[in-house]
Amino acid sequence: MSEELHEHYAFIVDKGQAPLRIDKFLINRIENATRNKIQQAASFGSIIVNGCSVKSNYRVKPDDKISVMLSYPPHDNLLIPEEIKLDIVFEDEEVLIINKPAGLVVHPGHGNYSGTLLNGILFYLDKLPKNRNNRPGLVHRIDKDTSGLLVIAKTETSMINLSTQFHDKISQRTYTALVWGDLKSESGTINEFIGRDRKNRMLMTVFPDKEFGKYAVTHYKVLERFGYVTLISCTLETGRTHQIRAHMKYIGHTLFNDVRYGGDKILKGTTFNKYKQFVENCFKTLPRQALHAKTLGFIHPKSNKKIYFNSDIPNDFLELIEKWRAYSKHQILHK
């Protein structure tokens, strides 16, 4: 019988929290969790509040200490090789470079047990070294709805070498993003600590110090201005979860159509019908956050030479850029 795998979460309820059913409270804090899954955990006695198991209708109170254990399917089912089309940019005996499409989850997790990039890679390569999180080949990851470049380690030596490069900020990564608003400067650096939001665990937020966040540095540069939105390039020094998304929101320039961080609302410009309709059409053109992992560079773990990869911006993102370019030109002509 295979060993059951669980995912553990712990929360301390904020002092200002109003009474709220614990199943509703947890849905806002656990990524991809469903109410049914949380209610099932409660029925198994796997939701503990202040040391006692509670039912799903328990109402949370300020300072409650909550512990949740959600079960995965059997461990064997998490890493089943599946035939998934891979866009391979480069491959040798040490590394594999993939151009990931938007919408594809990188690795199995709660709510995504199959159909991930890692399932496809395991079909393509049957033997891979595991990282410290027991995930074969993964050196880094990008969000489900972010497109772009990923490196996979094919050997134990490469795994150690590349993980060290990413940790020591030796690797080079740039992203292309479309953000709300017209940035004041042509370039800048955001040097702010990032951690899980205290009220909504699915969000990352900026904190004033390292008590709740981790050191994070994002450099940005304006590529093109469209008035209400700006096309930028972001270079990462660190690789925190949702780093660009959280940092850009912090400085008031949320990623375009980033649902989780509020970029799916009209944040700049007017709410006149024609403008509103134009923006809504743009949301349909790119139904995800406007973020693409464009370049990736690192020192090859065997040859010790610097290698560098550049990926094309996906067609839906290009179409979005062209829409805003045409709209901004139209606005200038009619001023």
| CA atoms of 150 and 295, how far apart (whole Å) | 9
- The Cβ of residue 266 has, within 10 Å, a number of other Cβ atoms equal to 15
Q: Enumerate the H helices of the chain as residue ranges.
A: 22-27, 35-43, 75-78, 117-124, 156-167, 243-250, 273-285, 315-333
Please state, in angstroms and rounded to a whole number, the distance separating the CA atoms of residues 155 and 307.
18
According to the model, what pLDDT value does residue 32 have? Answer: 65
In tens, the pLDDT along 135-184 reads: 788 999 899 999 999 999 999 999 999 999 998 889 999 999 999 999 99
Domains in the chain (CATH in brackets) are 6-72 (3.10.290.10), 79-167 (3.30.2350.10), 172-333 (3.30.2350.10)
Q: Please, is 256 exposed, middle or buried when counting C-beta atoms within 10 Å of its C-beta (0-12, 13-18, 19+)?
A: buried
- Distances from the Cα of 98 to the Cα of 5, 95, 201, angstroms: 28, 10, 29
For residue range 85-117, list pLDDT tens digits in order.
999 999 999 999 999 999 999 987 766 678 899
Higher pLDDT, 89 or 7: 89
Q: What share of the chain is helix, strand, coil (3-state, %, to 5)?
A: 25, 30, 45
pLDDT tens-digit map of 297-323: 999 999 999 999 999 999 999 999 999
CB distance 207 to 227 below 8 Å: no
Choice among 29-33, 64-68, 270-274, 278-282 with the minimum mean pLDDT: 29-33
For the annotated catalytic residues, the residue numbers are 143
